[in-house]
Amino acid sequence: MADNGDKTHFGYKTVESDKKADMVADVFHSVASKYDLMNDLMSFGVHRYWKRFTIECAAARPGMRVLDLAGGTGDLTQKFSQLVGESGQVILADINESMLKVGRAKLQDNGVVGNVNYVQANAEALPFPDNHFDIITIAFGLRNVTEKAKALASMQRVLKPGGKLLVLEFSKPQNALMQKAYDFYSFQVIPKMGSMVAGDSESYQYLSESIRMHPDQETLKQMMLDAGFDQADYVNMTNGVVALHRGYKY
C-alpha cells in the first residue's frame, strides 16, 4: 500500500512509489526461469491445491471471458482454457515481460492455443473495456502491486455485472504457533532455498517480506468493498497462511 502518495513498501524497505514497479520487475526477471520449481519446493506442492480450489470457486463455464491477472507461468490459465472452451477466451496478463514469456512458452508446449491471449499489463490501469470479463483471478500477485486500491478499482471496472473476482494471496496465519513456524520458515529457510536453487536469495527475502506487508484478511476484504465490489468474503486455507478472497459485482 502506498504511503502519502509518493512512498511505498518494497518488502520492509520504504521506497519511492514510482520506483517500486521496476524493483518488483527486477525480482521477477530474476526468478522467472525457476518460478515453477521454487513454487513446488517452497510450498511442498500445496500451491497446486490452493490453485485448484480457486478454479473450483471460479466456476468457469463454456463461452466465458476470463482474465488471469499477474498470471505468471499460466497454471490457472491452462485450466481456464479447458473450461471455457473454443467459444470462450482467457487472457493471461502480467506486468513482467520475463514471466509472460515463460508462461507463453510453457502453455504452448502443453498444447494450449486458440482461446488464450497474452497481454503485458499493469493491474492499476487495465487496458480492457468496462464490463468485459466474467471472471478475474489474481494469484499471488496483488501484494506486489504498488497501489492496491487502484488495482482493485480497475478490476471492478472491467468485470461484468454478475461477475466475480478471486484474489488468492498469502495472508495471516490464525494461531500464534503457526505464525512462529511460518516466520522461521519464511526468513530462515526460503532465502537459502532461493540461493541454492535459483541463485538468488535477495529476491526470495523480498517475497517473504512482501507477504508480511500485505493486508490481512479483514483489511483486504474491506478494500474490495471500498473499491466498489457489492459483496466480498474470504476462505482461509492452511490455517490462514493463504486466503482466497472473493468479490462480486452485481
Q: Is residue 200 part of a domain?
A: no
Q: Is residue 220 part of a domain?
A: yes
User: Is 59 labelled as part of a ligand binding site?
Assistant: no
The pLDDT value given to residue 12? 78
Q: Is residue 96 part of a domain?
A: yes
Examine the pLDDT at 168 and tell me if it is beyond 70: yes
User: Is 73 labelled as part of a ligand binding site?
Assistant: yes
Examine the pLDDT at 1 and tell me if it is beyond 50: no
User: Is 122 labelled as part of a ligand binding site?
Assistant: yes
In which domain, by residue range, is 167 found?
A: 7-174+205-248
**How many Å from the N-terminal Cα to the C-terminal Cα in the chain?**
27
Examine the pLDDT at 167 and tell me if it is beyond 90: yes
The CATH number assigned to the domain holding 167 equals 3.40.50.150
Q: Is residue 192 part of a domain?
A: no
Q: Is residue 111 part of a domain?
A: yes
- Looking at residues 172-176, what average pLDDT do you find? 93
| Alpha-carbon separation of residue 213 from 76, 125, 128, 143, 207 (angstroms) | 25, 22, 29, 8, 10
Neighbours of 197 (CB within 10 A): 15
Q: How many domains does the chain have?
A: 1
pTM of the model: 0.87
Q: Is residue 238 part of a domain?
A: yes
Confidence label for 3 from pLDDT (cuts 50, 70 and 90)? very low
- Looking at residues 13-22, what average pLDDT do you find? 80
- Looking at residues 112-139, what average pLDDT do you find? 96
pLDDT digits (tens, 9 = 90+) for 142-154: 998 999 999 999 9
User: Is 137 labelled as part of a ligand binding site?
Assistant: no
pLDDT digits (tens, 9 = 90+) for 47-94: 999 999 999 999 999 999 999 999 988 999 999 999 999 999 999 999
- Residue bearing the bigger pLDDT, 127 or 37: 127
Q: Is residue 71 part of a domain?
A: yes
Q: What is the DSSP letter of 123?
A: G
Q: Is residue 187 part of a domain?
A: no
The pLDDT value given to residue 52? 96
